[in-house]
Structures are given as C-alpha cells and as structure tokens.
C-alpha cells in the first residue's frame, strides 16, 4: 500500500501522518509498515535542539495509525468524514532505543482481539534489528456528529 492509498484511508495529514508505506498486510492478522524519520520533522525543533530524538508518543501514534490501516483492511471499509479512529488504551509501552533523524521505523502490528468494537493490538517498532518501542494498543472507531 503506497502513500496515495494511505491518504485515502487515514484522515491524518502533515505533520501528524506517520505512516509512509505498508510493506505487507495479512487481513485480520497483522500489518507491517514504514515511517522514514527525517530532520525536517517539525518536532525535532524542540525535542531536542542539541540532540534530536523522536518523541515516544509519536512512535505510539505511528503504531496506532498502522493498526487503523489493518482494521480498515480487515473490515473492508474506508472511513468517511464522520468516522474517527481513536485510542482506547495503551498498556505496557516501553521505549528501548532513541529514534533519530535518518532512522527508518519498521512497525509490526498484530491484531490480538476484536470485541464489541474495541480492537486490541500488539505493536513492535524497530530500527534495523533493534526494538525502539513496543506496546499493547486498544483502539475503536466512532461516528461523530
């Protein structure tokens, strides 16, 4: 799935769109996606000026956006302007390695369970062979007025 297909599914836009490409997807099971991290990211200006590091919450957001793409593929739906995909919870978040400009995030997200409109995922983000971030994510889709 290239960036054009991602833009059709996710409402996020620069600077908060954090998925550049989907490498592989197994309907209802797992997804693997990429985020290229560049010095041009707006958060590097203040985080931190002397040593740019990607904020951990943005790695979690990148995994949630990846999870949303898996959910949409699994359900066979494309969200409309009245549908929002929200975080419902984050458990066991661990940050194992700083992510810096020039790194490429490889996000592996697995659907663990879906019940009553709540989706639980296990996400692991790597830079090369090193784990940068891991967490259990819970997300849900809601219709807004």
Residues acting as catalytic residues: 47
CB 25 within 8 A of CB 73: yes
Instruction: Give the distance, in angstroms, between the CA of residue 113 and the centroid of all CA atoms in the same chain.
Output: 17
C-alpha 135/C-alpha 123 separation (Å) is 5
Distances (CA, A) of 86 to 59, 65, 95, 117, 144: 16, 10, 22, 11, 11
Cis omega (within 30 of 0) for bond into 80: no
Quickly tell me which residue has 């790597």 as its tokens: 126
């Amino acid at each position: 799935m290239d960036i054009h297909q991602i833009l059709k599914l996710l409402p996020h836009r620069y600077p908060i769109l954090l998925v550049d490409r989907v490498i592989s997807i197994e309907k209802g099971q797992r997804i693997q996606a990429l985020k290229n991290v560049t010095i041009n990211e707006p958060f590097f200006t203040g985080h931190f000026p002397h040593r740019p590091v990607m904020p951990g919450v943005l790695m979690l957001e990148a995994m949630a956006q990846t999870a949303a793409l898996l959910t949409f593929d699994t359900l066979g739906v494309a969200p409309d302007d009245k549908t929002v995909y929200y975080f419902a919870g984050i458990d066991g978040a661990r940050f194992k390695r700083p992510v810096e400009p020039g790194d490429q995030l490889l996000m592996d997200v697995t659907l663990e369970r879906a019940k009553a409109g709540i989706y639980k995922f296990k996400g692991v983000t790597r830079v090369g062979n090193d784990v940068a971030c891991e967490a259990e994510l819970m997300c849900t889709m809601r219709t807004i007025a």
